[in-house]
Amino acid sequence: MSRHHLRHNWYERRKRNGLYRSRKGVIFGVCAGIAKHLDLSVTVVRLIVVGACILTGFWPMIVIYIVAALLMKPEPVLPLSNDDEREFYNSYTASHEMALHRLKQTFDRLDRRIQRMEDIVTKRNFNWDQKLNR
């Protein structure tokens, strides 16, 4: 495999997975989420964070860590399989009202389709024998 192909696969995998806080992390799941996103060992990321804490005098890195915990969305409970699911999850975590509005629109469209089908099937001139015995 070419080097370019490997780099492209790594980039696509990172883009597909997204950056989320891990639900299995020790403290807010920030390090585990970053490690998963960058395809690194969690231990390496934690050592980097501890080293940065020591080098910066603890408080700046602790503030950055807390801000990262607040800004990163929690990892989805179920894996996201396509872009539509990813978009819905991101909109849901950004605004619950917007996500609920999207769900209501989807169900309203489905309801209208079902009503149109019921109207067609329940018409007096609908010929069941013709439709079932083709």
Task: Kindly report, residue by residue over 12-60, the tens digit of the pLDDT.
Answer: 554 556 788 888 888 899 999 999 899 999 999 999 999 999 998 888 8
**Can you give the residue ranges of every domain in the chain?**
1-76
Is the pTM above the cut of 0.75? no
- Per the CB < 8 A criterion, the answer to whether 86 and 18 are in contact is yes
Cβ atoms of residues 85 and 103 within 8 Å: no
Q: Residue 20: its pLDDT value, please?
A: 84
Number of Cβ within a 10 Å radius of residue 93: 14
